[in-house]
Amino acid sequence: MKITAQEEYGLRCIIQLARQTNGEPLMVRDIAEREGLSIAYVEKILWTLSRSGIIESVRGPKGGYRLTRPCSEISIGEVMRALGGIPSQEEICGQFTGNQETCVHHDKCDLQPVWVSITDFVHSVFDRIPLSQLLQGKLEVKMVQMTAKAPANLAG
């Protein structure tokens, strides 16, 4: 799994907004300064998040950006999807086509169940974590224990 800079910085920017008391807007320059990012880059990230409806801009001298809902109702998964998201199985398979337009295993791929399982798992973890839980500093992601047995030729 690869997290892009936009996703990492986007999560950090939205956490800044989530920390605002009473939904007060936060100016782009303040977010940029707190996160050590350029104003232009933060504007790009916030514009992307506002297009998704997660945040909104507030005009005026005390304007800026704010969340559209309480942070307890916004999951990391929603933010990640707005910023680019975890690649789907189709995107993963579309990247590795060899010298062909489509993968030679497109119709019957032995790896497809692996990619589907991994992307479903990552999405389910991200979707279970609301921004409010990050603010509390007590994040506990319970991992699902894999119960499949190793193939006989791999067993020690």
pLDDT grade for 139, boundaries at 50, 70 and 90: low
Cβ atoms within 10 Å of 135's Cβ, excluding its own = 14
pLDDT above 60 for 155? no
The percent of residues above 70 in pLDDT, for the chain, comes to 83
Q: How confident is the model at residue 156 (pLDDT cuts 50, 70, 90)?
A: very low
Domain boundaries in the chain? 5-136
> For domain 5-136, which CATH number applies: 3.40.190.10, 1.10.10.10, 3.40.640.10, 3.10.290.10?
1.10.10.10
* Local confidence band at 150 (pLDDT 50, 70, 90 cut-offs): very low
User: Cβ distance 83 to 48 under 8 Å?
Assistant: yes
Run of H or E residues at 21? none
Report the run of H or E that residue 42 belongs to, with start and end. helix 39-51
d(CA 85, CA 141): 19
Q: What is the 3-state secondary structure (H, E, C) of 54-70?
A: CEEEECCCCCEEEECCC
